[in-house]
Amino acid sequence: MIAYFSPGPTRSFWEDHWAGHTLEELLGEARRSPLTGLIEAALPPRGRVLEAGCGLGQYVLLFRERGRRAVGVDRTFEPLRECRKASPGAPVALMDLRCLGFRPGAFSAYVSLGVVEHDPEGPDAILREARRVLEPGGVLILSVPYLNGVRRLGTWWIRLRNRRVRAAGGEFYQFAFSRREVRAFLERNGFRVRSLSPYDPARLLRKALGRVVRPPHPALSPRGGEDEGEGIISGVRGAEGARFTRAGRRLLYTPPLLRLLGHMILFVAVKAE
């Protein structure tokens, strides 16, 4: 496990993060992202879906437009307000993920994408509450930053850099976890792991290239989102560029490169009896 620290207040970081996106943009990305296919394949065929840490609510709206009874909660007010402004009546609410205002067993599925790693006390309190609001056999779909091959090789440097940030007054930002660590905290909180899938292998490449050249393709920019593999080979346009992009995505989604470069890892688990 690696702890990351932000050089400035984390509150202002999240305000800047959400201010840099619109619901329309993120909903469009969700509709075409390979991550969406992984999530939908894991969802049960019926029942209510809760997205915990929904942000601007793009997945709540996507699930609902595809016929699912989905609601979203988040601990930050601003993105929920923007969601309601863009989509009046959207079923989103402000809640502490460690103390949800739902009855036990209220949901068939609990989706949480890049959320539990931001609790400095670890994911256990959030996961205990997730288990409480899931029905027996309910599905948990959880993603966290992945301690991939590249991060393992650079662990000493990442930890040194973050110790310096912390010593300079930085605030805790997030953890990155190994597969074994995620499996362990899921099992101790009453879940049985069904599958795991690293994803977004292009993120580290976008970040590295962004330091060297001006991104010629939107997917290489900081706001390029989660459309994994798009624009990795850019500067070639038209049909030839499209072929390179498809080839790049196929290469990045081979198991060795996912283990080496996957920015996040998605776990699907069920509530154990």
The residue among 51, 226, 64 whose CA lies nearest residue 140 is 51
Distance CA 34, CA 26 (A): 14
CATH 3.40.50.150 domain residues, the chain: 2-199+264-271
- Give the burial string for 11-43 (b: 16+ CB within 10 Å, else e): eeebeeebeebebeebbebbeebebbebbeebb
Give the length of the chain: 273
pLDDT per residue as tens digits for the range 57-96: 999 999 999 999 999 999 989 999 999 999 999 999 999 9
CA 227 to chain centre: 12
* Architecture per CATH, 2-199+264-271: 3-Layer(aba) Sandwich (3.40)
- Cross-strand bridge partners of residue 37: none
In sequence order, the 6+-apart residues with CB closer than 8 A to the CB of 209 are 215, 220
pLDDT per residue as tens digits for the range 166-175: 999 999 999 9
- Quick one: what percent of the chain has pLDDT higher than 70? 80
Query: Picking from 58-72, 81-95, 97-111, 206-220, which range would have the lowest pLDDT averaged per residue?
Result: 206-220
Distance CA 74, CA 79 (A): 8
Q: Give the pLDDT band (50/70/90) at residue 246.
A: low
- Residues 139 and 110 sit within 8 Å (Cβ to Cβ): yes
For residue 203, the model assigns a pLDDT of 79
Query: Picking from 18-22, 98-102, 153-157, 230-234, which range would have the lowest pLDDT averaged per residue?
Result: 230-234
For residue 236, the model assigns a pLDDT of 47
Q: Give the pLDDT band (50/70/90) at residue 266.
A: very high
The residue among 244, 264, 252 whose CA lies nearest residue 205 is 252
pTM of the model: 0.85
For residue 204, the model assigns a pLDDT of 73
- Residues 155 and 228 sit within 8 Å (Cβ to Cβ): no
